[in-house]
Chain A
Amino acid sequence: MYITWMKYKFIYFAISAVFLSAGIFGLFKWGLNLGIDFTGGVIAGYQLPNGEIKQEKYGAKSDEEIANIRDDIKKQNAKELRFETVGPSIGSELIKKTFYALAMSAMLILFWIAIQFKSVKFGVSAILAMIHDSLILLGSFSLLGHFANVEIDFLFVTAVLTILSFSVHDTIVVYDRIREKQRKYDPELGSDITKIANSALTETMVRSINNSFTIIFMLLALVLLGGDTIRWFAVALLIGTVSGTYSSPFVAVPILVTWEELQKKYVSLRTK
C-alpha cells in the first residue's frame, strides 16, 4: 500500500492555518481567562448545613479581608471544603518558571533529535510542530475561556508541558520510519524525500491513530468521571493529544519535506 500523502500537503497547512488563526484570534481578542493562580485572589468552597455546596471567588484581598471571608463561612455553620488564597506576586513567577521550563525542554529535545537523526531539519520541524500544538492548546483555552468561562490554572501549565513531550514523542515515531527508509535504500522510493515520507506515513498512520485512541480513552474517562478538580486539566490533555497526533504526519513531516524540496531547488538553481 502506498498513499501519496504529500500531494495534499498544502491542504494540511490550510487546515492547521484555520485552527491556528481561530486560536490566535481568540488570544489577541480576549486573551486567556486567567485563574487566581496567575492573578492572585481567593477561592472559597464550602458546604452549607443543608448540604448545598457553594463556591465563591474574589480578587486579590488583604489579610484582614481574607480573615473576614473565613469568618463569614464559619458564621453560616458551613464546612470548609476548599480555601485558596494566592498573592499577586505568585502569578508572574509561575509564568516565568513555565517559560524557563518550556525553553529548556525545547532546547534539550531539539538537541536530542538533531543528534539522533543527524539533522537539524528534523529537530527544527519537530519543534515547529510542537509550537503548533501549544498554540492550538492555548488558542482553544482562549476560546473556552471566552465562551465557557473556563479558567487557566496551575494544572494547565503542567498540561501544556506534557503535550509538548507527547507531540515530540509522536513525531519521533514517524521520523524514525523516515530515517530507516533513508538508511536502507529502496529502489522504488529512491532518495526522493517525498516518496520516502509518503511510504513512512502510510506505514505509521494506523499505529498513530490506534495509539491516540488508547490515550483518548483514558482521558475521556477522566473528563467524564474524574470530577471537577481535574476536568479541564483532562480536557487540555485531550485537545493536546488530538493536535499532537495530527501534527506529526500533517505538520512536522510536510514542513520537513517542503524544506528539503526548497533546498534542492535552491541547490539546483545555483549549479545551473
Chain B
Amino acid sequence: MKKNLLIKIILILLLTIACGIISYGYPVYGKKWDLSLGLDLSGGSHLVFEADVGGFHGDNDKKEKAIQSLRNVIEKRVNLFGISESNVQTSKFEDKNRIIVELPGINNPKEATALIGQTAQLVFSELVDKQVPNSATPSSELKETDLTGADLKSASTVFDQNTGKPSVSIEFTEEGSKKFEEITARNIGKPVAIILDSDIISAPNVNEKIVGGKAQISGSFTIDEANKLEIQLNAGALPVPVKLVEEKTVGATLGVDSVNKSVKAGIVGLIMVMLFMILIYGKYGIVADVALIIFGVITFAFYKLIPVTLTLPGIAGFLLSVGMAVDSNILIFERLKEEVKTKPFSQALEISFGRAWDSIRDANVATLVTAFILANPLDWSFLHVSGAVRGFALTLALGIGISLFTGIVVSRNLLRLFVKNN
C-alpha cells in the first residue's frame, strides 16, 4: 500500500515536471511549444463576408461548388496579400452563406477588406504589338479581350486523349463562343493568356481557329491542380458577389493591454483563492493549493500541446474552471469533516472521496454538456461557430477535465501521504 502510494506520488511529480517544462517554454525534442493567441489578444482582423447566392435559384450542387471556390479565391487573395497564418472558413446558417476570414497582425485592415471583398474576375488576354518609340526591337504587351468569366458556361476536369494527362476543358456560352472564335482566329501561332485575379493561370498557344465554343487548358497539372483550376474557373464563370457583414479589428496594443490586465487579475484572484483555502481548511487547504498549482501547470501545458487558441473569453473560462477545480476539494474536505467525527482518519478519507465522487461526476457532466454545445465540435450550422465562444468552451471543458484529475487523483494521494506521515 505504501509502496503503491510512493509510485503514484512519483508519477504525479513526473507529470507535473513534464508539463512544467512545456509550460515554461523549454524546447522539447527541438520543438518549442508556443501559446497561440486569438485575434483579440494578438491583434488582427476578423472579417465575415456574406455571399449573394440568389442567382443559383436553389441549385444546391452548383451553389456548394461556387461557395467552395469563393473561399479558395479569397484564400488565394489573402495569401497574395502576404498574410501568414490566416484562416478562411465557410459558415452556413439558414440560407445565408458566409466566409469568415481571420487575419492576424495586419496594419491595414481597410485595404485587406477591399481586396477580399472584390468580385472574382476571369479575363482572357491576347498579345498585341506595342509601339515603342526610338526602339529597334519590337515588343508586345498583354491586352484584355472582351472575353471574360461572364462568357464561360462551365469548366470541368478531363483527361487529354493523346497524353492521358489531366487537363481542364472549358465551355463558353453562345456569345462567348463567337468571341472565342474571333480571338483564336486573329491569334494563330500566338499565345492567349487566361488570367484570374491578375494571375496568369495558363497561356496556351493557339494552333488554329476554334469553333464550337470549347477549349482545353493543358498544363502540367496533377488531378488535384486541374480540379482546383476547374473550381476557380467555375467561380469566374459564376462570380458570387460578397458583402462584408461584420468586421472586428483589434489593434496589437489593445491586445497586449488585455493580456497584461487578465494575467494580473488572474494572479490576484488565484492568491485570494489560495489564502481563503488555507484560512478555512488549514493544512488541507495547503494540499488543495498544491493541487491547484499542479492544475495550473498541466492546463497551461495542454493549451500549448493541443493547441488551444487563447481568447479573452478563453481566459475567463480558465479562471472559472479554477473556481470549479477548487470546488472538488471543498466538497471532499467538507465531507471529511463530517466523516472524521465517527471514523478513524484514514478510513474517513477514503469514504469522503468515494462519496464526494458521485456529486462531482454528476455536476461536472452537466457543465461539460453546456461546454460541448458552446464548443460545437461537430460544426452544427444552427449553433455558434465563433472562435470566441469556442475558445471559452474549450478552456472550460479542459479545465473541468483536468480539475477532475487534480481534485480526485492528485489531492487524494497527497492527503494519503499526509496521513501516513502523521
Partners in one complex: yes
Give 16 A-B pairs besides A218-B273, A230-B312 with Cβ atoms closer than 8 angstroms: A90-B48, A96-B93, A97-B383, A108-B369, A109-B369, A109-B370, A112-B365, A112-B369, A116-B362, A170-B363, A203-B334, A211-B327, A218-B266, A225-B264, A225-B265, A230-B313
- What mask results when residues 245 to 265 of chain B are scored 1 for a CB within 8 Å of chain A, else 0? 111111101100110011011
Among B109, B254, B313, B374, the residue within 8 A (CB) of A233 is: B313
Q: Smallest CB-CB separation from B253: which chain A residue?
A: A81
Q: Does A33 contact B (CB under 8 A)?
A: no
Give Cα distance in the complex from A155 to B314, angstroms: 11
Q: If A89-B50, A158-B392, A234-B316 touch, does A206 touch B334 (CB 8 Å cutoff)? A: yes
Query: What are 19 A-to-B residue pairs whose CB atoms are below 8 Å?
Result: A80-B109, A84-B247, A86-B245, A87-B244, A104-B383, A105-B369, A113-B366, A161-B370, A165-B366, A166-B367, A168-B366, A169-B367, A210-B330, A214-B276, A217-B276, A218-B322, A219-B323, A226-B265, A229-B258
> Considering the chains assembled together, what is the distance between the CA atoms of A172 and B324 in angstroms?
14
Contacts of B246 in A (CB 8 A): 84-87, 90
Contact B249–A104 (Cβ < 8 Å): no
CA–CA, A166 and B334, complex, Å = 20
Q: Tell me whether B355 is interfacial, beta carbon within 8 Å.
A: yes
Let me know if A158 and B389 touch, CB within 8 A. Answer: yes
Judge if B402 is at the interface, Cβ distance under 8 Å: no
Q: Return B387 CB to nearest CB of chain A, in Å.
A: 11
Given contacts A161-B374, A211-B327, A222-B269, contact A229 B312 (CB under 8 A): yes
B contact residues around A162 at 8 Å (CB): 317, 320, 370, 392, 396
Cβ contact within 8 Å between B245 and A89: yes
Considering only CB atoms and an 8 Å cut-off, how many residues of chain B contact the other chain? 72
Residues of B within 8 A of A192 (CB): none
Contact A222 B280 (CB under 8 A): no
From A79, A85, A101, B251 is in contact (CB under 8 Å) with: A79
CB distance from A244 to the nearest CB of B (A): 12
Interface 0/1 of A208-245, CB less than 8 Å to B: 00110111011111101111011001100100000000
Q: Which B residues from 219 to 256 make CB contacts under 8 A with A?
A: 243-251, 253-254
B371 neighbours in A (Cβ, 8 Å): 165
Across the interface, do A227 and B257 meet the contact criterion of CB distance under 8 Å? yes
A2 to B: closest C-beta gap in Å: 13
* Closest chain A CB from B282 CB (angstroms): 13
Q: Which 5 A-B pairs have the closest CB atoms?
A: A215-B323, A221-B269, A87-B245, A176-B359, A165-B370
Residues of B within 8 A of A210 (CB): 276, 280, 330, 334
Find out whether the CB atom of B320 lies under 8 angstroms from the CB atom of A109.
no
Chain B 67-105 against A: per-residue CB contact (8 Å), 1 yes, 0 no?
000000000000000000000000001101000000000
**Contact of A173 with B359 at beta-carbon distance under 8 Å, contacts A89-B96, A226-B265, A230-B312 already known:** yes
Interface residues on chain A, size class: 35 or more
Q: Mark B388-408, 1 if CB is under 8 A from A, else 0.
A: 110010001000000000000
CB distance from B397 to the nearest CB of A (A): 11
A54 at the interface (CB under 8 A from B): no
Output the least CB separation between B295 and chain A (Å): 13
Which one of B94, B262, B320, B362 contacts A172 once the chains associate, using CB atoms below 8 Å? B362
Chain B residue with the shortest CB-CB distance to A74: B110
Which residues of A have CB within 8 Å of B94? 93
**Contact of B265 with A224 in the complex, beta carbons under 8 Å:** yes
Chain B residues near A19: list those with CB within 8 A. none
If A84-B247, A176-B359 touch, whether A221 touches B266 (CB-CB below 8 Å) is yes
Q: Which residues of B are found within 8 Å of A175, using beta-carbon distances? A: 362
> A148 contacts the other chain (Cβ, under 8 Å)?
no
Interface membership of B351, Cβ < 8 A: no
Is residue A256 contacting chain B, with contact meaning CB distance below 8 A? no
Residues of B within 8 A of A80 (CB): 109, 249, 251
Question: With an 8 A cutoff between CB atoms, is A83 at the interface?
Answer: yes
CA distance A80 to B108 in the complex (A): 10
One digit per residue, 1 when the CB lies within 8 angstroms of any chain B CB and 0 when it does not, for chain A 59-90 equals 00001000100100000000111111111011
Inter-subunit contact A222/B319 (CB<8 Å)? yes
**Is the CB–CB distance between B373 and A101 below 8 Å?**
yes
Q: Does A164 contact B (CB under 8 A)?
A: yes
Chain B residue, CB-CB nearest to A215: B323
Instruction: Give bound CA distance, A116 to B361, whole Å.
Output: 11
Give Cα distance in the complex from A237 to B323, angstroms: 12
By a CB distance below 8 angstroms, the chain A residues around B323 are 211, 214-215, 217-219
The B-contacting residues of A in range 153-198, CB under 8 angstroms, are 154-155, 157-158, 161-162, 164-166, 168-170, 172-173, 175-177, 180
* B276:A226 contact, CB within 8 angstroms: no
Looking at the assembled complex, report how far the CB atom of B403 sits from the nearest CB atom of chain A, in whole angstroms.
12
Query: Is B251 in contact with A82, judged by CB distance below 8 angstroms?
Result: yes
Chain B residue numbers with a CB within 8 Å of A155 are 312-313, 388
* A100 on the B face (CB < 8 A): yes
Query: By the criterion CB–CB under 8 Å, are A83 and B273 in contact?
Result: no
Q: Which of B317-354 contact A (CB under 8 A)?
A: 317, 319-320, 322-324, 326-327, 330-331, 334, 338
Chain B residue contacts of A225, Cβ below 8 A: 261, 264-265, 268
Q: How far is the CA of A199 from the CA of B261 in the complex (A)?
A: 44
Cβ–Cβ < 8 Å partners of B257 in chain A: 227
For the complex, give the distance between the alpha carbons of A218 and B271 in Å: 9
Residues of B within 8 A of A84 (CB): 246-249
Which residues, 142 to 195 on B, are CB-close (under 8 Å) to A? none
Q: Could you mark each residue 35-51 of chain B with 1 if its beta carbon is under 8 Å from any beta carbon of chain A, else 0?
A: 00000100000001010
A264 at the interface (CB under 8 A from B): no
Q: Report the bound CA distance from A234 to B392 in whole Å.
A: 13
Question: Does any Cβ of B come within 8 Å of A29's Cβ?
Answer: no
Q: Nearest A residue to B114 by beta-carbon distance? A: A67
Give the contacting residue for A63; candidates B244, B251, B254, B268; CB below 8 A: B244
Taken together as a complex, chains A and B put the C-alpha atoms of A45 and B384 apart, in Å, by 26
